[in-house]
Amino acid sequence: MTDRPATNPSKAHAIVTEVRRRIVEREWRQGDRIPDEVELAVEFGVARATVNKALQLLAEEGLLDRKRRAGTHVTVNPARKATLTIPIVREQIEGAGMAYSHRIIAQKHGPAPADIASRMAEAEGTMMIHLRTVHYGDDKPFQVEDRWINPKAAPGAEHVDFQRINPNEWLVRNFPWLRGDIAFSAENADARDARLLETRQGTALLILQRTTWNDQGAITSVRLAFHPGYSMVASP
């Protein structure tokens, strides 16, 4: 597929650089209204669409605030957005140069307890698959995964051999999600976390809770507990 942009990317880039410089060096201060597109197009000697593209990029960066009627202002509190890429755990471990393996500690088919059902917006007692998995890098515990899968939104899950393909990977490969809830927190390892992660009870663990949906309902709800000392990097 060939893209033929209507705008000139290298000129747009030059405008982005110059506008960013004016903001960073506070020639244009926070809250200031900046010149409109037509004025900037004249100043930079480019098409208005190129200015539009450049301002759009700066708005996505959080430096500009664009409103249809009020014009474009320098953001007063630059939105501090950071992007996290939540990797497939096997790829993450292999990407770090370690040998990946996993172990299914428990697998049951049964009714979802109230807190899980509520998190997944399903009726209490909905039949689901409950899996507890440990992911290892070079035979050292990397992550403990406690997961509920809803066969209504992920049909076929009842028949998968999760010893062969880990639940995270099977779901990612088969059930793209449309929306999800993600939250980070810290917990002191309980007795089970400590045993599975081969650490001491009470050790601080980074916890990621995630519930994902497709058009059939909640696919899965998972609690990931990372090994002690793990740090998740975000890119702004």
Contact residues toward its own copies (CB under 8 A) are 1-3, 6, 20-21, 23-24, 26, 30, 36-37, 49, 52, 63, 66-68, 71-72, 75-88, 91, 172-174, 176-188, 202-207, 209, 214-215, 226, 228-236
By C-beta, is 104 or 207 nearer to its own copies? 207
**Minimum CB distance to its own copies, residue 218 (Å):** 14
**Minimum CB distance to its own copies, residue 136 (Å):** 20
**Minimum CB distance to its own copies, residue 174 (Å):** 8
Tell me the C-alpha to C-alpha distance, in Å, between residue 218 and each of 120, 133, 212.
Answer: 5, 20, 6
By C-beta, is 183 or 191 nearer to its own copies? 183
Long-range contacts: 180-187, Cβ < 8 Å, 24+? 180/210, 180/211, 180/212, 180/213, 181/119, 181/209, 181/210, 181/211, 182/84, 182/86, 182/208, 182/209, 182/210, 183/208, 183/209, 183/210, 184/208, 184/232, 185/209, 187/225
By C-beta, is 111 or 180 nearer to its own copies? 180
3-class DSSP assignment, residue 201: coil
**Minimum CB distance to its own copies, residue 194 (Å):** 12
